[in-house]
Amino acid sequence: MKKLIINNTFAAGYSDIFHEMDSRELKKFYGCAGNRCGVYDEENHMAIMITWVKPKLLGFLTDERTVLNGAKTQMRRNLPSYCQVDAMKRMIAGCDAIGDRFEYIPAGTDILQYGDLYVFKFDKIYYAIQLIARKNSFTQSQKEIEEFLQSIAVAA
């Protein structure tokens, strides 16, 4: 099991089928590489990406729902076929996380992708975790995704 360090705050374990994404890959998925990290399995087309942000002015008005809605707005802008499938809640690293399951078809393909997006707050910083896999292999991908999510812990 390899370790991914997230914002020098959390550590998460991931299996050998993944590799840590470099700045080039992060830019491909997000358009930039700042305040984010992730792992990718090229063979199974599965990605786990984490972004973090500390609200600036009026941060006291921000909550997990606001951050989640902002992320969904951004995805709708970048992915015209984006569609929410379900709303979810779970614990991540001892924090209450809210999220959505979604699906979309990447531009220029006919391959349906499935994903989960979770948002939680820790020490005044909001973390968004995006998990993406092809819909036809999403059930098999759930084992790897669940192991990753359960392994996230405050780094020692």
What is the rounded CA–CA span in Å between residue 92 and residue 52? 14
Compute the 3-state secondary structure of the chain and give helix, strand, coil in percent, each to the nearest 5. Answer: 30, 45, 30
Q: What is the pLDDT of residues 106-134, one digit of tens each?
A: 888 888 999 999 999 999 999 999 999 99
* 115 strand-pairing partners: 102, 132
Q: What pTM was computed for the model?
A: 0.92
Q: Which domain covers residue 106, as residue numbers?
A: 2-154
Which CATH number is 83's domain given? 3.40.1000.10
pLDDT tens, residue by residue, 129-154: 999 999 888 877 888 999 999 999 99
Between 33-37, 69-73, 137-141, the lowest mean confidence (pLDDT) is in 137-141
**Amino acid letter at 25?**
E
Task: Tell me whether strands 95-104 and 153-154 are parallel, antiparallel or unpaired.
Answer: unpaired
CA nearest neighbour of 112 among 83, 78, 140: 83
What's the structural domain count of the chain?
A: 1
Name every residue whose Cβ is closer than 8 Å to that of residue 13 and which is 6 or more positions away in sequence. Answer: 1, 2, 3, 4, 147, 148, 151
What residue ranges in 25-124 does DSSP mark as E strands?
A: 36-41, 46-53, 83-92, 95-104, 113-122
- Is the CB of residue 92 less than 8 Å from the CB of residue 149? yes
